[in-house]
């Protein structure tokens, strides 16, 4: 048995963090002869001869006859106090609860042998120790809850609710058997808990039997649940919440019915008591044999409820109480037999870790890193000089994907031409006002009834996501997650309906379609929802053609087909980096979806005070995260997450605390401090000169015809030794962000993410190219005077600013806000000061301090400041080879890291 005490508790973890198999701890407690027994001149037939052995004699006296010795983990003689029983046996098991391990302690024995006497004492000492522990560990926040039931005549009752209702047992796939509608009270302090314990004692069914005037006629289960997490806002432990419960089970007397019975009521009780104890005994006996087979926990409510403690994931201890009196020798023998079987039962104790969303993201990141490192293990490249090699390798992968794209493009064309035919047909049908067999021009073109037309697939609305207003469309679709993503608002040529996943539903048989509605279903919303004017087919045709244009324009934006120095031979080939980025963002999208539910929960918790039932967010590591479908837009991401998507707040939060409000100054300085790292990193990374590329990328112009922004930047004096190429590129990006009205959250994410690793330059390049495209799209909209498209993008950034301004109050203290207004020159009595501030952010693209401060403010508002790496992992955009420690991504390492 492992010893856990005091401060070591939180560091304790079972070997390998996985389940730790251990035997049930079995103790025997002998009580002294009571007054009645003494009065009857009873003699003692039981004696503890050492700390682990008890002798039972069938004869007149324990030393006469032929005593049988029974050995247990611990035996306590009549004179032992309950304190000794607790300290020397029970404490070790019950206090596992504070380290996240469920534990259970049973009292088993015949009536009047001292079960209640022992359990009350043990519960009392446990309460003291738990609260002692909590006081010594004020770096962690604890939430304690209490519930209590009794099982009387196979009926479960809530001891904290006096209405006597019968409670149902439900089977929960994740939590096992749960008691429905059970009262669970959040504890304030030890006095509160003791008050509740007395209340349960008063509520419990007792009755008079010949052996015990206040005999407990029911099985009582008291349960204290403890959840704890670090109080520190940025603590490494914060992301891990541990949660466990300790149960105190005081069973009803194990005597035979006839033995203690004095009335019909007692007889009925005795039958039920015996039935459940018999089921308990059977379960224990089967478990003790090791060869488990089917264990029928469902034979009684008692065994159903106690299932986790019997061979489950709890640490379990059984205290068998005995009367030494000769008159009860048979009952004592039964108790000792039960104890002997219980000794052989094993459980698999396990730390119950509840992962916060943040920890879940970290976990997924690490898992990803591990998988990536496995993939790369053949090359094991690590130094910056190896980056070109990595790039080459990636290019190879990209070429492979490009081939796939070509193949899929062919397939799409084929499908389109069939859709074309079919639409024409439907056009005819619509024209004739009727869809009947005559519509089909000839028998061959008419699909047979109940026959599918397998290779015609309907374009359907693609799942789009628009996180922070960016990266919304996947042009190729889910089956081939390679495509080009671009900002929805700036890509007005493509509507949701057009951006399709060609792997839609298989066409239904034509014969089943005999009405216009049928036809509408047949060709799908994306086609029939076209404007009524003109032929729907014609419109679709044009739009399908347009759909290809952006793809081509991305490829063709550089006249000589150079993308990052790689020649692109096929005009349909996409930029490798675009492809890589897309893959990353799809991954990010998935992670966001996976965490969104928890994040929303987190927000709910922040907004209200901590309720009894919602003390903690987060998921148990063993549970699969639910993946609610979600479509993001820039305002959603800000409003619903209450912060950056990867930065799900604390697993345990009531209201935002003062600690949470990390000062704005700290954030700004941390961002400023990290800028030199980029500078240093630049030197190590072999980069091509961007000057020529950059100039060519602006509308295919030569260096002489630079964009005005670039020209002005070229005239700038380089600041503090930054490589001028990078400065120019970065400033161009800042300008383009501004002119393309790119989401502030995106700018901040990007700016904060890509500044520590020399290889990040690649992403700046990619971002630049993407922005060039967006800018062209913008220009086109302007040229076409497409006020709708332009208004849409302005609206989206305005919404974002409004959303950010709304969250300012929560994220900044009044003083901080005041000093921000002062600093940013916002008049004291002017209106909408928060919005004014938001409108200024990211505006001065020539001033690096302005940029860093803007990023710090936005980061603070969406809580992303210290998590660049986490976000980067989510974007899956690091070329860094994984650190070896990441390869051992087990729960164990996760916990250790925390």
Residue ranges binding ligand ATP (CB under 6 A): 31-32, 34, 109, 111-117, 212, 215-216, 252-253, 321
**Of residues 85 and 306, the one with the C-beta less far from ligand ATP:** 85
- What is the DSSP secondary-structure string of 515-584? SHHHHHHHH-HHHHTS-SSS-HHHHHHHHHHHHHHHHHHHHHTSTT-EETTEE--STTPPPHHHHHHHHH
Tell me the closest approach of the beta carbon of residue 53 to ligand ATP, in angstroms: 19
User: Contact, 102 vs 246, CB < 8 A?
Assistant: yes
CB of 193 to ligand ATP, least distance (A): 21
Ramachandran angles phi, psi of 655, nearest 5°:
-105, 165
C-beta of 116 vs 878, nearer to ligand ATP: 116
Cβ at position 115, least distance to ligand ATP in Å: 4
Tell the smallest beta-carbon distance from residue 170 to ligand ATP (Å). Answer: 29
Annotated binding residue 112: yes
CA distances from 459 to 291, 455, 466, 481, 629 (A): 57, 12, 21, 16, 20
In the complex, what is the shortest distance from the CB of residue 106 to ligand ATP, in angstroms, rounded to a whole number? 12
Q: Which is nearer to ligand ATP, 111 or 845 (CB)?
A: 111
Which of 619, 612, 603, 617 lies closest to 655, judged by CA? 603
In whole angstroms, how close is the CB of 216 to ligand ATP at the nearest point? Answer: 3
Angle in degrees, 0-180, between the axes of helices 744-753 and 848-862, rounded to the nearest 10: 110
The span from the CA of 576 to the CA of 573, in Å, is 9
Phi, psi of 156 (to 5 degrees): -95, 130
Q: How far apart are CA 617 and CA 603, in angstroms?
A: 10
Checking phi first, is residue 832 left (phi over 0); if not, alpha (psi -120 to 50) or beta? left
Whether residue 113 is annotated as binding a ligand: the answer is yes
Q: Please, which residue, 201 or 816, has the CB nearer to ligand ATP?
A: 201
Structure tokens at 278: 């018999």
Shortest distance, CB of residue 200 to ligand ATP, whole angstroms? 14
CB nearer to ligand ATP: pick between 84 and 393: 84
109 is in an annotated binding site: yes
Task: Using the minimum distance from each CB to ligand ATP, give the nearer residue, 201 or 299.
Answer: 201
CA-based torsion, 55, 57, 61, 64: positive or negative: negative
Looking at the Cβ atoms of 54 and 355, the one nearer to ligand ATP is 54
Shortest distance, position 42 Cβ to ligand ATP, whole Å: 14
- The verdict on whether residue 873 carries a ligand-binding annotation is no
Tokens of 751: 């700016």
**29 or 301: CB nearest ligand ATP:** 29
d(C-alpha 817, C-alpha 803), whole Å: 16
- Choose between 114 and 643: whose C-beta lies nearer to ligand ATP: 114
Residues 476 and 483 sit within 8 Å (Cβ to Cβ) = yes
Q: Is 111 annotated as a binding residue?
A: yes
Write down the least CB distance from residue 110 to ligand ATP, Å: 7
Residue 177 C-beta: closest distance to ligand ATP, Å: 24
State how far the Cα of 406 lies from the Cα of 429, in Å rounded to an integer.
34
Q: Which residue is nearest to ligand ATP (CB)?
A: 114
Q: Which is nearer to ligand ATP, 34 or 511 (CB)?
A: 34
DSSP 242-281: EEEEEEEEEPPP-S-HHHH--SHHHHHHHHHHHHHHHHHH
Rounded CA gap, 198 and 123, in Å? 11
C-alpha angle 396/397/398, rounded to 5°? 90
User: Residue 406: helix, strand or coil by DSSP?
Assistant: helix
Cβ closer to ligand ATP: 115 or 747? 115
Residue written as tokens 């009595």?
A: 829
Q: How near is the Cβ of 91 to ligand ATP at its closest, in Å?
A: 18
Closest CA to 197 of 130, 132, 134, 120: 120
- Is the CB of 166 or the CB of 214 nearer to ligand ATP? 214
Strands 166-167 vs 155-158: parallel, antiparallel or unpaired: antiparallel
Q: How far is the CB of 79 from ligand ATP (least distance, A)?
A: 8
β-strand partners of 227: 143, 243
Residue 115 assigned ligand-binding role: yes
Q: What's the rounded Cα separation, in Å, for the pair 35 and 38? A: 5
8 Å CB contact between 789 and 492: yes
Work out how close the CB of 122 gets to ligand ATP at its nearest, in angstroms, rounded to a whole number: 12
Q: How far is the CB of 152 from ligand ATP (least distance, A)?
A: 13
From CA 369, how far away is CA 382, in angstroms rounded?
14
328 versus 781: smaller Cβ distance to ligand ATP: 328
Does an H or E element contain 47, and which?
strand 46-48
Q: Which long-range contacts (CB under 8 A, 24 or more apart) does 667-672 make?
A: 667/856, 667/859, 667/860, 667/865, 668/852, 668/853, 668/856, 670/856, 670/865, 670/866, 671/752, 671/852, 671/855, 671/856, 671/859, 671/865, 672/849, 672/852
Q: How far is residue 243 CA from its own chain's centroid? A: 15
The residue among 216 and 759 lying less far from ligand ATP, judged by its C-beta, is 216
Residues at the binding site are 109-116
* Binding-site positions for ATP: 109-116
């Amino acid at each position: 048995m492992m010893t856990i005490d005091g401060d070591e508790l939180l560091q304790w973890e079972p070997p390998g963090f996985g389940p730790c198999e251990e035997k049930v701890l079995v103790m025997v407690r002998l009580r002294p002869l009571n007054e009645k027994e003494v009065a009857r001149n009873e003699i003692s037939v039981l004696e503890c001869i050492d700390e682990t052995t008890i002798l039972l004699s069938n004869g007149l006296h324990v030393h006469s006859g032929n005593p049988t010795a029974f050995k247990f983990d611990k035996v306590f003689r009549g004179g032992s106090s309950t304190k000794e029983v607790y300290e020397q046996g029970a404490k070790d098991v019950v206090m596992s609860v504070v380290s996240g391990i469920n534990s259970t302690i049973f009292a088993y024995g015949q009536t009047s042998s001292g079960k209640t006497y022992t359990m009350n004492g043990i519960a009392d000492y446990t309460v003291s120790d738990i609260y002692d522990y909590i006081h010594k560990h004020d770096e962690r926040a604890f939430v304690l809850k209490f519930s209590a039931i009794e099982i009387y005549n196979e009926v479960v009752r809530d001891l904290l609710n006096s209405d006597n209702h019968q409670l149902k047992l439900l089977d929960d796939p994740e939590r096992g058997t749960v008691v429905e509608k059970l009262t669970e009270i959040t504890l304030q302090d030890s006095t509160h808990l003791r008050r509740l314990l007395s209340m349960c004692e008063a509520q419990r069914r007792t009755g008079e039997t010949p052996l015990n005037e206040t005999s407990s006629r029911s099985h009582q289960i008291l349960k204290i649940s403890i959840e704890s997490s670090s109080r520190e806002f940025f603590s490494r432990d914060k992301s891990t919440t541990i949660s466990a419960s300790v149960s105190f089970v005081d069973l009803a007397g194990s005597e035979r019915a006839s033995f203690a019975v004095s009335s019909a009521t007692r007889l009925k009780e005795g039958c039920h008591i015996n039935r459940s104890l018999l089921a308990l005994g059977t379960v224990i006996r089967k478990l003790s044999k090791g060869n488990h087979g089917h264990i029928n926990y469902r034979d009684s409510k008692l065994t159903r409820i106690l299932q986790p403690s019997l061979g489950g994931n709890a640490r379990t201890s059984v205290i068998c109480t005995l009367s030494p009196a000769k008159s009860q020798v048979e009952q004592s023998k039964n108790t000792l037999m039960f104890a002997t079987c219980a000794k052989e039962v094993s459980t698999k104790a396990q730390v119950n870790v509840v992962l916060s969303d943040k920890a879940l993201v970290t976990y997924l990141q690490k898992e990803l890193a591990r998988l990536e490192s496995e993939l790369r293990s053949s090359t094991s490249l690590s130094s910056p000089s190896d980056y070109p090699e990595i790039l080459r390798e990636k290019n190879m992968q990209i070429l492979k994907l490009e081939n796939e794209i070509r193949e899929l493009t062919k397939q799409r064309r084929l499908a389109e031409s069939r859709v074309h035919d079919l639409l024409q047909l439907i056009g005819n049908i619509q024209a004739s006002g009727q869809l009947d067999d005559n519509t089909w021009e000839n028998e061959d073109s008419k699909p047979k009834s109940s026959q599918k037309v397998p290779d015609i697939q309907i374009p359907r609305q693609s799942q789009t996501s628009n996180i922070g207003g960016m990266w919304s469309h996947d042009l190729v679709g889910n089956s081939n997650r390679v495509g080009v993503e671009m900002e929805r608002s700036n890509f007005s040529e493509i509507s949701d309906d057009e951006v399709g996943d060609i792997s839609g539903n298989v066409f239904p048989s034509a014969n089943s379609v005999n009405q216009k509605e049928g036809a509408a279903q047949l060709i799908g919303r994306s086609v029939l929802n076209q404007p009524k004017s003109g032929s729907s087919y014609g419109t679709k045709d044009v739009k399908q053609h347009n759909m290809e244009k952006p793809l081509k324009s991305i490829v063709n934006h550089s006249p000589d087909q150079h993308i990052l120095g790689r020649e692109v031979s096929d005009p349909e080939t996409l930029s490798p980096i675009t492809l890589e980025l897309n893959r990353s963002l799809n991954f990010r999208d998935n992670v966001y979806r996976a965490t969104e539910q928890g994040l929303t929960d987190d927000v709910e918790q922040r907004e209200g005070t901590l309720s009894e039932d919602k003390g903690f967010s987060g998921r148990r590591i063993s549970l699969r995260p639910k993946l609610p479908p979600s479509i993001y837009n820039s305002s959603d991401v800000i409003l619903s997450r209450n912060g950056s998507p990867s930065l799900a707040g604390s697993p345990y939060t009531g209201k935002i605390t003062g600690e949470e409000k990390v000062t704005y100054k700290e954030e700004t300085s941390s961002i400023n401090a990290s800028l030199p790292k980029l500078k240093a990193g630049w030197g190590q990374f072999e980069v091509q000169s961007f000057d020529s590329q950059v100039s060519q990328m602006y509308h295919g112009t030569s260096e002489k015809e630079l964009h005005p922004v670039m020209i002005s930047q070229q005239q700038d004096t380089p600041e503090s030794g930054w490589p001028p190429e990078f400065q120019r590129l970065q400033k161009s990006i800042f300008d383009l962000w501004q002119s393309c009205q790119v989401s502030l959250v995106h700018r901040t994410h990007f700016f904060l993410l890509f500044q520590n690793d020399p290889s990040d330059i690649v992403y700046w390049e990619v971002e630049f190219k993407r922005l060039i495209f967006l800018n062209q799209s913008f220009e086109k909209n302007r040229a076409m005077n497409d006020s709708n498209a332009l208004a849409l993008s302005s609206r989206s950034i305005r919404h974002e600013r409004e959303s950010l301004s709304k969250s300012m109050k929560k994220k900044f203290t009044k003083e901080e806000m005041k000093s921000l207004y002062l600093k940013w020159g916002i008049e004291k009595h002017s209106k909408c000061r928060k919005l004014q501030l938001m409108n200024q952010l990211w505006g001065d693209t020539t001033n690096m301090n302005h940029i860093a401060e803007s990023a710090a403010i936005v980061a603070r508002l969406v809580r992303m400041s210290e998590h660049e790496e986490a976000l980067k992992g989510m974007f899956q955009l690091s070329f860094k080879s994984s650190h070896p420690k990441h390869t051992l991504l087990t729960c164990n390492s996760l916990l250790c890291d925390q």
